[in-house]
Structure 1
Amino acid sequence: MIDPPRRAERTAHAPTRLRALDGLRLLAALMVAAYHYGGRGGEVSGAWGSSPAEQFPTLHGYFAYGCLGVQVFFVISGFVICMSGWGRPLKSFFASRAARLLPAYWAAVLLVTAVFALPVVAYEAVAPSDALVNLTMLQQPLGVDRVLGVCWTLWAEVRFYALFALCVVLPGVTRRRVVLFCAGWTLAAAVAEAADEPLLDLVLMPEYAPFFIGGVGLYLVHRDRRDPYAWGIVAVGWLIGQHYAVRELWQAPGPDVFAHRSSFGIVLVVTLGFLAVAAIALGLLGRADWHWLTVAGALTYPFYLVHEHLGWVVIRALHQELGLSSWATFALTTGAMLLLARLLNRYVEKPLTPRLRDALAGRRRG
């Protein structure tokens, strides 16, 4: 979803990776996977043959909080997009974003479409015409059926990229411009919420804006931990973000509710997400500099793309057809999706991403 993170360039030396942020990205993706496999009802019940609440009678309630991994992703995205856009011209920024998102996304759309079209797979595939539209990443605003359930988050990401590019990257990234962008977007999103105007909601994303803005503020903290404006941006992002998370995700207990999500639990997860990125921004996790975290970060995006629908296919095969236990199925399915992500990273992203980036940036490869 976002680029592998790198430290801000404070000296003339090449920046080093923020490996802890790589690890946090994979943790957020695993949270979402736990939600899709065991923290919700609906379609996933067909994969298990019964409600996941019966498969995981104790933990399904905790898995239900895994959907908040998306909010953590958005905070990380705000941090990394601000970092990657700093000192970069618009053309280079666009090339970097497109090359990062598209190769694995195209491969995932084609792969899921092909698997769902197999006679032995008991899931309904989208129409061929809709599958082709999905390759543009514009299926949601066009009202077309989605191939990938998680692609709604990519639509939010794309809108954030566009806002940041037009308001900050195009005129040139400076601290003052970033601060004004965060303040202006926060105010405009609040106005959009009050106006209840669909077009404003579509552009300004009031329910997601605080997380992106909070992440941008945390990157300013990373550059200067004594910056009061940066801390103010982070605080306002957290305050408003937890409000939207509770409003959208709180579930009262009841016989028809899959799992009760308390307001305290939601606020706690959102807070921990902000604190984790803040700890990385402040350098408190600098010792987490293990190479395997870089590998984990590389797997995150392709894993996130394929894990949901293909995971249900694997769950059905392992649990209903082979009779494996719920926990063995859960573990093996997660492992299989990580392995598939590794293959997509190795054979799709690594060869295609630099080529697409160079082509879009107008650079010739030697």
Structure 2
Amino acid sequence: MSAPQLTAGPPPAAPDLALTAPQPAIQGRSRTGSSRLRALDGLRLLAALMVAAYHFGGRDGEISQAWGGSPADQFPTAAPLFAYGCLGVQIFFVISGFVICLSGWGRTLRAFVASRISRLYPAYWAAILLVTAVFALPWVAYKALPPSEVLTNLTMLQQPLGVDRVLGVCWTLWAEMRFYALFALCVILPGATRGRVVLFCAGWTLAAALAQTAHEPLLDTVLMPEYAPYFIGGIGLYLLHRYGARDPIAWAIVLVSWLIGQHYAVERLWHSASVDAFSYRSTTGIIAVITLGFALVAAVALGKLHWANWRWLTVAGALTYPFYLVHEHLGWVAVRALHHSLGLPSYATLILTVGLMLLLAWVLHRFVERPLTPVLKRAIDPRR
């Protein structure tokens, strides 16, 4: 059985590990001085755990084979809640808009590209090879993709090239890459200023809406109407963080982005109640989760969560990206071994599987990301 081509997903984003508030601009002020935004690290891991809950207990499909039956039967009470976990991707995209604006402000184009490539690729390459190797084992129920397709996946461009994905979740990375490209060309290259960022947000919002009416595939690919409001909303929240809460234009960006974002979330993820459907998400529930995501990032932006400054949140943030990459497919293998083969109870299997994936994420961070990220960054931008 090959890796699936559809996952719910979202976003995760893979922002810089250093979520440190910048020095304030002349016109504004930083909300947290030079302190690290550790609450944002914790929020990233929370979004990743939401997606994991969805993948393991909030949908049908490949995971049913691992459980030996529908996850709805394994988690009769929690499965309806797990079904909302896919909205963790939208929260990821809001965080990504915030962090990319934060980390990209004042950087040269070359430095920005070096930071993005060195942040995304080391753990991604390791996850591709690891999942392929595990799926190639004769006693694993899932089959690896052919070598040519695996090699193409190493570019992270498999989706536009029409190649099957080794990692189902990597579709969100393709959305992230397009966001980075737009931000780099429109903001980083000419130089980040408040006016230019505001113009970028307004222009992208309008262009995305027009692309939606044009029904032109190329415009949809470039402008991403259904994901744009989350990235733009995150940028608006960063403007509030940088220039203060008395910025009506930044609030307008956030408000319009939330209004459009909840529309796309409901349109894509709501379905009418049916006995034939695995899960049912209400419009109220979807709007509530999207609103909570915006509100939590806003709380970080405005300094309301500065008290959440525990050091372990930094570790949580560091584990988020590798965990997001490996948890789904290797989680199938773990669930099948623990529940289907060893007979552990469903909730014990779920908790242990998540714990094992977090442990694996730590290994990838410690032995892949930490040594390779600075090497790759210096290779791309030796002037640093």
Please state which band the TM-score falls in when normalised by the shorter chain.
over 0.9
1:347 positional shift: 0.2
Query: Quick one: distance in 2 between partners of 1:86 and 1:159?
Result: 18
Equivalent residue of 2:63, what SS?
helix
Query: Residue 246 of structure 1 is aligned with which of 260, 263, 266?
Result: 266
1:3 positional shift: 1.5
CA contact (8 A) 2:21 2:33 kept: no
Please give the per-residue CA displacement for 1:125-167, whole angstroms capped at 9, x wherever unaligned. 1111000000000000000010001000000000000000000
1:15 positional shift: 2.8
Please give the per-residue CA displacement for 1:46-66, whole angstroms capped at 9, x wherever unaligned. 010000000000110100000
TM-score normalised by L of structure 1: 0.98
2:56 is equivalent to residue 37 of structure 1: yes
1:124 positional shift: 2.0
2:66 is equivalent to residue 50 of structure 1: no
Instruction: Give the match for residue 3 of structure 1.
Output: 16
Instruction: Give the match for residue 219 of structure 1.
Output: 238
Gaps of at least 5 residues in structure 1 are none
Please give the per-residue CA displacement for 1:202-236, whole angstroms capped at 9, x wherever unaligned. 00000000000000000000012211111100000
2:384 is equivalent to residue 360 of structure 1: no
1:8 positional shift: 2.4
Summarize the alignment of residues 321-340 of structure 1 with structure 2, pairs less than 5 Å apart.
Answer: 321-340=341-360
Instruction: Give the match for residue 109 of structure 1.
Output: 128
2:83 is equivalent to residue 95 of structure 1: no
Instruction: Give the match for residue 302 of structure 2.
Output: 282
CA contact (8 A) 2:132 2:145 kept: yes
Q: What amino acid does structure 2 have at the position aligned with 1:8?
A: P
Count of residue pairs the alignment pairs up: 364
Gaps of at least 5 residues in structure 2 are 1-13
Query: Residue 170 of structure 2 is aligned with which of 151, 156, 160?
Result: 151
Instruction: Give the match for residue 202 of structure 2.
Output: 183
Instruction: Give the match for residue 11 of structure 2.
Output: none
1:16 positional shift: 2.4
Equivalent residue of 1:312, what SS?
helix
CA contact (8 A) 2:229 2:257 kept: yes
2:281 is equivalent to residue 267 of structure 1: no
Query: Residue 184 of structure 2 is aligned with which of 165, 170, 194?
Result: 165
Instruction: Give the match for residue 277 of structure 2.
Output: 257
Sequence identity (%): 71
Please give the per-residue CA displacement for 1:25-79, whole angstroms capped at 9, x wherever unaligned. 0000000000000000011100100000000001101000000000000000000
Please give the per-residue CA displacement for 1:82-101, whole angstroms capped at 9, x wherever unaligned. 01110110000000000000
Query: Quick one: distance in 2 between partners of 1:211 and 1:6?
Result: 21
Q: What amino acid does structure 2 have at the position aligned with 1:29?
A: A
2:40 is equivalent to residue 26 of structure 1: no
Please give the per-residue CA displacement for 1:246-304, whole angstroms capped at 9, x wherever unaligned. 00000211121111000000000000000000000000000100000000000000000
Instruction: Give the match for residue 5 of structure 2.
Output: none
Query: Quick one: distance in 1 between partners of 2:155 and 2:337?
Result: 31
Equivalent residue of 2:279, what SS?
coil
Summarize the alignment of residues 338-349 of structure 1 with structure 2, pairs less than 5 Å apart.
Answer: 338-349=358-369
2:266 is equivalent to residue 232 of structure 1: no
1:363 positional shift: 3.8
Please provide the CA RMSD for this pair.
Answer: 1.2
